Amino acid sequence: MSEDQEAQEDELLALASIYNEEEFRRSESTQGGEIQLCLELAKDFKIYLKGGKQTEYAVSFLPPLVLNFELPLDYPSTSAPAFTLSSKWLSRAQLTAVCRRLDELWEDSRGTVVLFSWIQFLKEDLLSFLSIESPLEISSPARAPPERTKGEADAEKGTGKDLPDPRAVVDVDPREDILTRLLDFDEAQRQRVFDGRVYSCGICFAEKLGSGCLNFKECAHVYCRACLGQYFQIQIRDGNVQCLNCPEPECSSVATPSQVKLLVGEELFARYDRLLLQSSLDLMADVVYCPRKMCHSAVMTEPNATMGICPSCQFAFCVLCKRAYHGVSECQTTAEELQSLREDYLSASAEGKRFLEQRYGKMVIQRAIEESFSREWLDQNCKGCPRCGTNIQKIDGCNKMTCTSCKQYFCWLCLSLLTHGNPYSHFNNTASPCYNRLFQGVNMNDEGDVWSDEED
């Protein structure tokens, strides 16, 4: 074996021993291979899309540079490796400048192996060579080629070479969203690093790999999936879908829906998703629910409108009393509904009161309070006529009452109907439950009245 072949074999074996199979793949048919190089980014490194809303996104990883190479027979004594360099986030001009820098490194070390020098430059010096700093501007492949940056111009200054290098490959589909692609890659790499580390669960205090743990994105607190899964399942079964937060005391971080789905399974997640949607709709003043029990779909309403039409069952209803739409006629609200609305309003905060006023209207709230108080007073001080239901208040006199509406005689004590011919027979009949109780409860004054409560 010649010296060149020995040097090539030693270099390829060294690469295979240093890098794993995902980072370095040796070619089976030729003396060559492919190396994927991930750059080390500074902390809080950010990117943004050129021509977009200038929104910056923090990333820890960018897709790797891919160096494909083939070693000629007379490498390293005479010829340099043949290569291509591809990237998903560098421009063609930037890659061209890098390819020419690799040529310079070969010229500086001609006669010796150069792959490790190339790898070191690409991993450690590339960003400074191209003057790339945070925030990094990313150009969409669908756009026209961007103008050269200062780093690119400096890299090519004095070379007299402005044409793109055919070895520089921009590996991006013009139809894809490059920013989404980069953010997805960063998220996947973060998860991969997290899965390989060991963490202590803050609940069971066991040491577990990140692949068996969950990391809250906002606060970065870590708990094992077994403990969090049990906690989330209990909360969802109890309907507390707004409480799936980090167990750390005084921490307000909330688990994302994808994290919840990972821990509780399909059935409980469906319940969680349904309850979360319903709780969100409940906070919207312009959303009500169809009052039909078989439907109960969410219905959007117009501002100050009193009619809602369910998009599912087409039922037209009053958004105030939840009954069939009755036009301009007053709502026939039950005492229980008015009582519930009054209690909700009186116990609510200032913001809660505004929300109820926006949903039901101030006039409806006022009527609910007034009618609720009126009904309470009537229940405490009046009785309904047993014939027509008119509210009757007893101020004075005996227990034989006359309805002011239908003129029916009735007993105030037991609400029995009394005959017009002899209404007092009810109080004189020994078999009557109100026997001898005609004046029971009547307060007599001291000016000649002969009856008293004690004598009764």
Angle value at C-alpha 350, between 345 and 354, nearest 5 degrees? 70
**Candidate list 398, 403, 406, 434, residue with the active-site label:** 398
Angstrom CA distances, 358 to 192, 279, 345, stand at 48, 18, 12
CA dist 211 and 196 (Å) reads: 7
Closest C-alpha among 290, 294, 292 to residue 308: 290
| Residue with tokens 């490498």, as numbered in its chain | 75
Identify the three-state secondary structure at position 86.
Answer: strand
What contacts 448, CB < 8 A, 6 or more positions away? Answer: none
C-beta atoms surrounding 70 within 10 Å: 15
Residue 47 in tokens: 């990117």
CA dist 392 and 426 (Å) reads: 20
| Residue with tokens 């926006």, as numbered in its chain | 358
Amino acid at 152: E
Identify the three-state secondary structure at position 190.
Answer: helix
Angle value at C-alpha 425, between 422 and 430, nearest 5 degrees? 170
CB-CB contact of 68 with 158 (8 Å): no
CB-CB contact of 110 with 116 (8 Å): no
What contacts 391, CB < 8 A, 6 or more positions away? Answer: 378, 382, 383, 384, 385
Q: Hey, what's the torsion of the CAs at 325, 330, 335, 336, to 10 degrees?
A: 30
| 398 in catalytic set | yes
CB-CB contact of 40 with 60 (8 Å): no
Backbone angles phi, psi at 199, to 5 degrees: -130, 155
Closest C-alpha among 134, 170, 161, 164 to residue 57: 134
Please list the active-site residues: 398
